């Protein structure tokens, strides 16, 4: 286990109930970190110690763009030190206090980030139980980071929690009534209060004395300001439903139109892409919503370049990282990984996209009807010249070229396939087999094909060509016309989701 010799303390950042937080620099990467210093003599009661241990246990395994990262904890005779990600922008609470009402667009962005963080916690059977703007920090990119898991607890199936916790203004009615509660729904209530507070700059439930406050919360009585949009109003009403059973769930919130509007790419696709490990490999920016089983070679190799680690056994270091050890190499790897992912996330959300179709050498027999489709001579000539020097796959059926980043291409491809009710599996790193949901294969000896009218099965291969990517689509099974129709829909979907910079045409043969 490393000691504080790996960090240079810069200045104090603040102090909490039983801890002091300081800004420090990690000597190897020169990245800033925040170190929470807990004096053992200040946490003599068992309960507080348990809270700290619980926070460490929870944060240790977490890796999410909107949850404060814990890189390592160091125990000495007198102190417990938590080395965490440094979040420089202060508390969300101070922002509201300073600026008053947050514009709805910004409030939604914050809300989406908190919901995404909570969804991550709940999936891992952790309920936060103390969501409030004081426990949320803002980073330099205006990203929120949920912290303070001191009150959080593990949910065990079928076991209700009883501890009354959190701040009274944010507490759900079932908590203040002392009823048993199941966990996730109390976080939903608190985020409902948070969203209201972001939009109004005051609390939905507020009274000078606790009994009056509790009465208001239990009755679920609150006024909705006239300037709340219809969508926000509807969502808040559903979240501040006093009945935890019929209260909207995190999953339903994520389906709500108000939540879904303008969702940033790094949140929109993380979960969808989580299932596709290989693609995740090329999509570093999107990985951070899960604990990885693989290593980012790029980051790993950068770490090896530091003088501190030269001459060390590469394989052993890899094993240390995979085992999530707390040695100085693993900590360095994670600090560097996070700073790299931060940059990638930013680029991902800013990147421009355009799609350009590819022209086929063979004679087209089918022209996809598309209002905007115009075969343009300049388009044809430029692609003709490219074709001649590129080893295109000779068995193409349908294809087009996308001058976008690999991340955006795959994201849009998956999104389009999903909306066409398709499912897929990986055949190789750059090839997927796609089929209509419910597609049934024809068995040997069967007269009538089962797939009649039931969709298709095809392969999509992705090729890199100069600075762009080419999608090669080849039918595997199903009716020709259904296949062509699906290709046309896919093309339209992909085109619809990205701005087109050139006139285009598609030939299918």
- Residue numbers in the known binding site are 36
Give me 1's structure tokens.
């286990």
Can you tell me the distance from the alpha carbon of 230 to that of 33, in angstroms, rounded to the nearest whole number?
Answer: 41
Which two structure tokens, joined as six digits, stand for 467? 């600075």
Buried-exposed string 281-302: b where 16+ CB fall within 10 A, e elsewhere: eebbbbbbbbeeeebbeebbeb
Q: What is the dihedral of CA 281, 28, 63, 297, to 10 degrees?
A: 10
Cβ proximity of 76 and 231 under 8 Å:
no
206 in active site: no
State which of residues 1, 3, 9, 15 lies at the interface with ligand ADP (CB under 6 A): 15
In this structure, the strands spanning 126-127 and 79-85 are unpaired
Residue selected from 7, 21, 104, 477 as contacting ligand ADP according to rule CB under 6 A = 21
User: Which of 43, 413 has the CB closer to ligand ADP?
Assistant: 43
CA 100, distance to chain mean position in Å, is 28
Binding mask 124-153 for ligand ADP (x = CB under 6 A): -------------x---------xx-----
The smaller minimum CB distance to ligand ADP, of residues 94 and 497, is found at: 94
Looking at 45, 130, 139, 187, which residue is catalytic?
130
Residue 422, judged by CB atoms within 10 A of its CB (0-12, 13-18, 19+), counts as buried
84 contributes a contact to ligand ADP by CB under 6 A: yes
Residue 203 sits in the site that holds ligand ADP (CB under 6 A): no
* Whether the Cβ atoms of residue 127 and residue 280 lie closer than 8 Å to each other: no
Q: In this structure, are residues 204 and 196 in contact, taking their beta carbons and an 8 Å threshold? A: yes
Q: Between 19 and 74, name the residue whose CB sits nearer to ligand ADP.
A: 19
For 219, list phi and psi in degrees, rounded to 5. -80, -15
Among 37, 68, 267, 484, binds ligand ADP (CB under 6 A): 68
Pair of tokens at residue 30:
């020169």
In angstroms, the CA 132 to CA 92 distance is: 9
From candidates 4, 13, 201, 375, binder to ligand ADP by CB under 6 A: 13
Residue among 86 and 400 whose Cβ is closer to ligand ADP: 86
Comparing CB distances to ligand ADP, the nearer of 44 and 395 is: 44
Closest to 281 measured CA to CA, from 442, 180, 406 = 406
Helices (H), 81-132: 92-99, 104-123
Ranked by CB distance to ligand ADP, the top (closest) residue is: 16
Q: For residues 13 and 479, which CB has a smaller minimum distance to ligand ADP in the complex?
A: 13
Give the per-residue contact string, 346-385, with ligand ADP (x = CB under 6 A; - = no). ----------------------------------------
Residues in the annotated binding site for ATP: 36
Q: Which stretch binds ligand ADP (CB under 6 A): 12-20, 169-177, 364-372, 473-481?
A: 12-20
Nearest to 200 by CA among 166, 232, 238, 242: 232
Which H helix or E strand runs over 355?
Answer: strand 355-357
- C-alpha distance across the termini of the chain, in Å: 63
Report helix angle 104-123 to 184-200, nearest 10: 170
* Binders in 408-437 for ligand ADP, by CB under 6 A: none
Per CB under 6 A, the list member of 28, 58, 80, 87 interacting with ligand ADP is 87
User: Could you say whether residue 86 binds ligand ADP (CB under 6 A)?
Assistant: yes
Beta carbon of residue 12, minimum distance to ligand ADP (angstroms, whole number): 8
Alpha helix (H) residue ranges in 23-124: 46-60, 92-99, 104-123
Contacts with ligand ADP by CB under 6 A: the residue count is: 18
Check binding of 100 to ligand ADP (CB under 6 A): no
Which position among 1, 8, 9, 16 is part of the footprint of ligand ADP (CB under 6 A)? 16
Q: Which of 7, 19, 330, 414 binds ligand ADP (CB under 6 A)?
A: 19
What's the closest the beta carbon of residue 43 comes to ligand ADP, in angstroms?
12
Please report how close the Cβ of residue 150 comes to ligand ADP at its closest, in angstroms: 7
Binders of ligand ADP in range 237-256 (CB under 6 A): none
CA distance 349 to 339: 16
Interaction mask 208-237, ligand ADP, x per CB under 6 A: ------------------------------
Q: With binding defined as CB under 6 A, does residue 34 bind ligand ADP?
A: yes
Catalytic residues: 130
| Residues in contact with ligand ADP by the rule CB under 6 A | 13-17, 19, 21, 34, 36, 68, 84-87, 91, 137, 147-148
């Amino acid at each position: 286990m490393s000691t504080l010799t790996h960090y240079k303390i810069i200045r104090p950042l603040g102090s909490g109930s039983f801890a002091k937080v300081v800004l420090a620099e990690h000597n190897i990467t020169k990245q800033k970190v925040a170190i929470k210093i807990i004096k053992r003599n200040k946490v003599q009661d068992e309960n507080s110690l348990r809270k700290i241990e619980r926070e460490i246990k929870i944060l240790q395994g977490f890796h999410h763009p909107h949850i404060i990262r814990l890189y390592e904890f160091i125990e000495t005779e007198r102190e417990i030190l938590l080395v965490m990600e440094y979040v420089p922008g202060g508390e969300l609470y101070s922002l509201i206090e300073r600026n008053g009402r947050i514009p709805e667009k910004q409030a939604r962005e914050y809300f989406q980030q908190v919901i995404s963080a909570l969804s991550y916690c709940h999936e891992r059977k952790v309920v936060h139980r103390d969501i409030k703007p004081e426990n949320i920090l803002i980073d330099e990119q205006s990203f929120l980071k949920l912290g303070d898991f001191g009150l959080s607890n593990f949910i065990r199936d079928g076991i209700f929690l009883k501890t009354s916790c959190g701040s009274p203004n944010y507490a759900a009615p079932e908590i203040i009534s002392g009823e048993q509660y199941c966990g996730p729904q109390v976080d939903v209530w608190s985020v409902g209060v948070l969203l209201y507070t972001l939009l109004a700059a005051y609390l939905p439930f507020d009274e000078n004395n606790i009994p009056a406050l509790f009465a208001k919360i239990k009755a679920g009585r609150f006024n909705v300001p006239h300037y709340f949009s219809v969508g926000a109003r509807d969502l808040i009403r559903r979240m501040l439903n006093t009945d935890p059973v019929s209260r909207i769930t995190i999953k339903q919130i994520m389906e709500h139109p108000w939540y879904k509007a303008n969702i940033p790419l790094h949140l929109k696709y993380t979960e969808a892409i989580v299932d596709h490990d290989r693609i995740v490999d090329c999509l570093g920016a999107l990985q951070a919503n899960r604990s990885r089983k693989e290593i980012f070679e790029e980051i790993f190799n950068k770490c090896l370049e530091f003088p501190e680690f030269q001459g060390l056994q590469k394989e052993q270091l890899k094993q240390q990282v995979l085992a999530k050890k707390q040695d100085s190499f693993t900590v360095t790897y994670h600090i560097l990984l996070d700073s790299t992912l931060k940059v990638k996330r930013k680029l991902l959300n800013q990147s421009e996209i355009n799609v350009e179709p590819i022209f086929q050498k063979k004679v087209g027999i089918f022209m996809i009807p598309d209002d905007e489709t115009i075969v343009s001579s300049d388009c044809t000539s430029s692609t003709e010249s490219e074709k001649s020097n590129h080893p295109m796959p000779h068995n193409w059926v349908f294809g087009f070229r996308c001058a976008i980043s690999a991340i955006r291409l795959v994201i849009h491809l998956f999104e389009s396939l999903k909306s066409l009710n398709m499912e897929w599996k990986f055949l190789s790193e750059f090839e997927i087999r796609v089929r209509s949901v419910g597609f049934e294969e024809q068995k040997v000896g069967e007269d009538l094909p089962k797939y009649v009218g039931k969709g298709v099965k095809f392969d999509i291969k992705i090729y890199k060509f100069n600075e762009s990517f080419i999608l090669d689509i080849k039918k595997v099974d199903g009716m020709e016309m259904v296949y062509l129709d699906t290709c046309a829909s896919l093309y339209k979907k992909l085109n619809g989701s990205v701005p087109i910079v050139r006139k285009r045409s598609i030939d299918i043969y």
